[in-house]
Amino acid sequence: MKVRPKDLLEELAARGFGADLNDFVDEETAAAIAKATHFDAEVISLDQAMRQRAEAGQADLEPRPPVVTIMGHVDHGKTTLLDAIRSSHLVDKESGGITQHIGAYRVAVKNRFITFIDTPGHEAFTQLRSRGAKATDIVVLVVAADDGIMPQTKEAIDHARAANVPIIVAINKIDKPEANVERVKQQLAKENLLVEDWGGKTISVEVSAREKKNVGDLLEMILLLSDILEIKANPKVPAQGVVLEARLDSQKGPIATVIVQQGTLEQGQAFVSGLTMGKVRAMFDEHGKVLKSARPSMPVEIMGFADVPVAGDPFQVMDDPEAAKNVVASRRSRIKGKEAPRAIGVTLDELFKKIEGGQAKELNLVVKGDVQGSVEVLSDVLPQLATEKVKIKIVHAATGNIAEADVLLASASKAIVIGYNLKPSPKTLELAKKEGVEIRSYKIIYELTDDIKKAVIGLLEPVIKESFQGRAEVRKVFQIPKVGAIAGCIVQDGRIVRNAEARVLRGREVIHQGRISSLKHLKENVTEVKKDYECGLGVGGFSDFQPGDTIETFIREKVQAV
């Protein structure tokens, strides 16, 4: 800023901010510093700043391997497909296969790489996203050709859509006699996933994971889609990524699997992750092989954390250990004495607090019902409650109890969970409280629709309504020592009230707007003067009254839009 520290501290002291040079400052003080030094301040998080820095270097951006998550219904062959990919396309076949499980691994396809996140299902995928981590570029949706689309398949589609991640469909088990590929494509079309050979945009590949048939075609399609998406990263900035999973090892201490998203991670570098920090003492690939560096999209297991980090936390390399220590100290001081920051959820009662002017509003819902009929009715009725200004989006709708996966999806999508004829378990309620998600249970459908209608109205911008209060004409102007100009007026209409908002008009032009700062009738201070009475009044910040000016007073109030 090119400001001497001494001058800055004096300026802050004059504005009532007592600070020393080594103090951490909050956002309010930072704004005061910016104002005092004539700068515009924008407060952004460290990971946002690092991401912007990486994306700013357009000339340094290079294509990076796509990061893929495999999702789908239980028993549709997700694990078999992962095993088929792994055994056929190991990055390092000489290593004798995978020696340890680190939650992610790479495969080689035609001199290129693909990184697979080996999650136990969409719950883990959503849990990462509920913490703000965008860890996946592409979702491969596995659907069994003999079974078709099942409840968990629909759930996986909703999770991928909520994360805004493109889907490739792998139609598995085509080797089975009862396989019906066309039926699967028809069911996909009902879920708005129209495959390419039906004239749509969704890539689909027919595979047999058990016989390893067309697995290579699937991998090529993943690379093709990544080329279309132009997945790129800047390898020349300080490394940044996301923690996939973490644990405490009895011999190695805190260990975490990290996917590098930007930059190149080097051994010995200092880093921060959430409320912990460390130095890269050692890092390993999925075969347990020691690495000296890791480029974008590489999954690595890192030793050197001071404490066990949280899955989903951003990971950033810092210039030196002192800088890392300062960042963590600042984050800890910010939450000291407070509850650790949690995901900001949405409640029907608080929706109006979430309003941001000028952009389209959307109310996201996760709908669960006791029977399919109820779910279908709600899926039809609820979107119809939308208005021109507020959309209602059903992120996921299914039968069955409200599960923890529903809460995680709602947390990640900033949605409300609606249960019809259902009662969530204490464990689910506990998770909802932790994630800041509201669960609403109903037994009567009109009570549900009434609440949603109110929520939609609550999302609309309030309208500022102006009500006329009074009008006075200036007859004479008095200059009062130490007070300034006072207008001698007669009230022509309504009433003039002290502290009311007022505008001064000369002809039809508004020349000033302020508040009635003083009001007298004869020589007495009064709170209001009615029609046909004389008064002397002052308007805050204005002294250039002229006989013939009109002073109008009015009341402004926020009225809820309908």
pLDDT by residue (tens digit) across 260-294? 999 999 999 999 998 899 999 999 988 889 999 99
Q: Is it the case that residue 450 has pLDDT exceeding 90?
A: no
Residues 450 and 310 both lie in one domain: no
Examine residue 390 and state whether it is found in any structural domain, yes or no: yes
DSSP for residue 409: H
**Which of 398, 425, 459 is the last residue before a domain boundary?**
459
* Confidence at 457, pLDDT banded by 50, 70, 90: low
What was the pLDDT predicted at 101?
56
Q: Is it the case that residue 42 has pLDDT exceeding 60?
A: yes
Neighbours of 408 (CB within 10 A): 27
Residues 22 and 148 both lie in one domain: no
Residues 261 and 396 both lie in one domain: no
Residue range 183-194: average pLDDT? 93
DSSP E strands in 263-412: the ranges are: 265-266, 270-273, 276-284, 290-291, 293-294, 299-305, 314-318, 361-369, 390-399
Residue range 117-139: average pLDDT? 69
Q: Is it the case that residue 174 has pLDDT exceeding 80?
A: yes
Strand partners, 554: 468, 501
Here the CATH number for the domain that contains residue 399 is 3.40.50.10050
Strand order in the sheet with 138-144: 104-109, 112-117, 67-72, 138-144, 167-172, 203-206
* Confidence at 497, pLDDT banded by 50, 70, 90: very high
What was the pLDDT predicted at 366?
92
Residues 185 and 251 both lie in one domain: no
- Which residues are within 8 A (CB) of 25 and not within 5 positions of it... i.e. 6 or more apart? 19, 33
pLDDT digits (tens, 9 = 90+) for 64-105: 999 998 888 878 888 888 888 887 654 444 334 433 456 788
Residues 78 and 205 both lie in one domain: yes
Q: Tell me what percent of the residues of the chain surpass a pLDDT of 70.
A: 86
What was the pLDDT predicted at 559?
62
Examine residue 316 and state whether it is found in any structural domain, yes or no: yes
**Which of 459, 484, 512 is the last residue before a domain boundary?**
459
Mean pLDDT of the chain: 83
What was the pLDDT predicted at 349?
57
Strand partners, 248: 254
Q: Under a CB-based contact definition with an 8 Å cutoff, are residues 359 and 460 in contact?
A: no
Residues 299 and 383 both lie in one domain: no
Examine residue 55 and state whether it is found in any structural domain, yes or no: no
What was the pLDDT predicted at 549?
95
What was the pLDDT predicted at 93?
42
Here the CATH number for the domain that contains residue 244 is 2.40.30.10
**Which of 205, 230, 255 is the last residue before a domain boundary?**
230
Q: What is the DSSP string of 97-110?
A: S--S--SEEEEEET
**Residue at token pair 């609403």:** 440
Residues 103 and 125 both lie in one domain: yes
What was the pLDDT predicted at 263?
92
Q: How many helices (H) and strands (E) does the chain have?
A: 13, 29
What was the pLDDT predicted at 12?
73
Q: Look up residue 4 and give its amino acid.
A: R
Residues 217 and 85 both lie in one domain: yes
Residue range 100-128: average pLDDT? 74
Residue range 449-471: average pLDDT? 72
The whole-model pTM stands at: 0.64
What was the pLDDT predicted at 467?
81
Residue 13 vs residue 67, higher pLDDT: 67
Residues 277 and 143 both lie in one domain: no
- For the chain, how many structural domains are there in total? 5
What was the pLDDT predicted at 494?
93
Domain that holds residue 287: 240-335
- Of the listed ranges 86-95, 99-108, 116-125, 298-307, the one predicted with least confidence: 86-95
Structure token digits, residue 297: 């999209």
Examine residue 475 and state whether it is found in any structural domain, yes or no: yes
